[in-house]
Amino acid sequence: MSHLLIEGGRPLVGRHKVYGAKNAALPILAATVLARDTFEIENVPDLLDLKIMIAILHALGARVRREGTTLYVDTREIHRTEVPEELMGQMRSSLFLMGPLVARYREATLYRPGGCAIGTRRIDFHVEGLRRLGARVVEEGGRIEARALALRGATIVLPYPSVGATENLMMAAALAEGTTRIVNAAREPEIEDLGRFLNAMGARVYGAGEATIVVEGVRELRGTRHRVIPDRIVAGTFLFAAAITGGDVVLEDARPEHMEAVLDLLATSGAELEVGADTIRLRGKLPPRPLPRVVTAPHPGFPTDLQPQLVTYLTQSEGTSVVVETVFDGRFRHAEELVRMGAKIYVDQRTAVIEGPTRLKGERVRAYDLRGGAALVLAGLAAEGTTRVYGLTHIDRGYMRIEEELAALGASIRRVSATREEEAAG
C-alpha cells in the first residue's frame, strides 16, 4: 500500500513558502454560487478537498479552470441545486453549498456530509440557522432538502462558535432581505477572508473575524477577483516539524498575526522565533520545555488542527505536559500510533498527558485523519530508524506533496506507491 517512507533524525533547514489556506478556499469557492458571473481566485492549493469542491461546482453546472494556483470560476450556467450524494460523502465542506444554493436558487438538496473522523460532527447549527433565516429544511434518511421562497434577515445566536456554521450563515445572509446578526460567531482568519470575498462580490458584511457579524442583505452579487490567505495550519505544521528536529526553518508568505497562540506556545517551549511582516524563522531547541496545560479553543486560542502535531512535539520535552482538546470529542487517535513508536501518552477522554522525553522508534503507523497523519510524519522525522506512514489519502487532503516539501528542507522522506494489485488487496 502507498506510504511515506521516512528515515528520521535529520534537522530541517531552509526556506518554505506557505501556500493558500484550504479552509479559506473551500467556503470561498462555495460562495461563487451566490452570483451568476465569473471569478478569478488566486492562491488556491491543489489538494484533494479542493478537487472535490471543484467537482461539486461542475456537477451544478459551473465551469472551473485551474492555471497554476489560480482558479477561474464561471457560475453563469448553473442549472442544478442538488449536490451529488457521492461527492457529499467525501468531504464535510460540501455542506457549504447549502447556504449559497438556498439563498440564490431558493432550494438545495444535499446529503449527510463525510469528512475526517475526529468526533461527532453535527450539522444542527447550520440547519437551525438557515431555519431562522426562513428556510424550510427537511432531513430524511440522510437526504437534506432546504427550500425558501425568500430568506429574511434574523438574529442567530450560535450555541458554539462553529466555523462552518458561521460561514454558511454569512453566505446565506448575504442575499437575504434585511439585516442578519450572527452572535457568538467564530472568529477564525478564514472567516475574515470569506467576509472580504463576499464584500468584494458586493455584499455588506461587517465584523467578520469578530464575535458578532452583521450582514445587510443585498439583492444581487457579482463576480470578483480574490487572493486566498496563507494556510496557518500548514505553516504551523512546518514550524513543529522544524522544532521537533532541532532545525532552522524560515517560512515565507506566512501571516504571523493569524498564529499568535501557536507562536507563543513554541516560544514558551524554548524554540527561538524571529517574526517578520510575512516571514517566521524558527530555530528548534531540543529538548523542548514541557507545557503544563495547553487547551485547544476556537480562534484566537490554540487551534485544534495543530493539536496532534503539538502532542508529537511534546513527546520530546523534558517532563510532563497536558493537552486538553475542547473542540472535538474524538481527536486523539494519533496518540495510539505514537505510543506504538515509544511515546508515553495517557489519554482520558479529552485530555492527553504526555511524559517526555522519549526516544521515538521507527514503526509502521497509520493516519486516521488529516492532522493526525501530519503528526505521524513529524514523529517519523524525529524518530530513530525507519517509519512508514500509511493512510495517505487523509494527509493528501490537506498537504500538497508533503514529502517533496519536507525533502526540500533536508528530510529523508519519499512516497512509496503501491502497485494496483497491492491497493486492491487492501
| Residues in contact with ligand UD1 by the rule CB under 6 A | 23, 26, 92-93, 119-126, 160, 162-165, 186, 190, 304-305, 327-328
Q: Which is nearer to ligand UD1, 23 or 180 (CB)?
A: 23
Residue whose CB is less far from ligand UD1, 153 or 189 = 189
Kindly state the smallest distance separating residue 167's Cβ from ligand UD1, in Å. Answer: 7
Cβ distance to ligand UD1 smaller for residue 122 or 359: 122
Specify the residue, 284 or 298, whose C-beta has the smaller distance to ligand UD1: 298
C-alpha cell at 206: 461587517
414 is in an annotated binding site: no
Q: Distance between CA atoms of 190 and 173, rounded to whole angstroms?
A: 17
Asked if residues 50 and 26 have their Cβ atoms less than 8 Å apart, the reply is yes
Nearer to ligand UD1, 119 or 300 (CB): 119
Query: Is 234 annotated among the ligand-binding residues?
Result: no
Of 190 and 363, nearer to ligand UD1 (C-beta) is 190
Alpha carbon distances (Å) from 127 to 95, 169, 178, 331, 363: 10, 9, 20, 24, 43
Q: Supply the minimum distance, in Å, between the C-beta of residue 52 and ligand UD1.
A: 12
Dihedral class, residue 68 (left if φ above 0, else alpha if ψ from -120 to 50, else beta): left
How near is the Cβ of 269 to ligand UD1 at its closest, in Å?
A: 22
Distance CA 78, CA 296 (A): 40
Q: How far is the CB of 57 from ligand UD1 (least distance, A)?
A: 16
Q: Which of 28, 57, 116, 214 is catalytic?
A: 116
Task: Select the residue whose beta carbon is closest to ligand UD1 and give its number.
Answer: 164
Host H or E run for residue 387: strand 386-390
To the question of whether residue 327 is assigned a binding role by annotation, the answer is: yes
From the list 365, 356, 420, the residue with the least C-alpha distance to 392 is: 365
- Among 223, 286, 301, 297, residue whose Cα is nearest residue 64: 223
Q: Which residues lie below 8 Å from residue 121, measured CB to CB, with a gap of 6+?
A: 92, 115, 328
Q: Least distance to ligand UD1 from the beta carbon of 359, Å?
A: 30
* CB of 234 vs ligand UD1, minimal distance in Å: 12
User: Was 219 annotated as part of a binding site?
Assistant: no
92: annotated binding-site residue? yes
In the DSSP assignment, the letter for residue 142 is: T
Answer yes or no: 262 catalytic. Answer: no
C-alpha distances in angstroms, 307 versus 214, 289, 324?
A: 31, 17, 9
Query: Is the Cβ–Cβ distance between 400 and 46 less than 8 Å?
Result: yes
CA-to-CA separations, 377 to 115, 178, 387, in angstroms, rounded: 20, 49, 8
Catalytic positions, written as ranges: 116
Residue ranges of the binding site:
22-23, 92, 305, 327
Residue ranges of the binding site for UDP-N-acetyl-alpha-D-glucosamine:
92, 305, 327
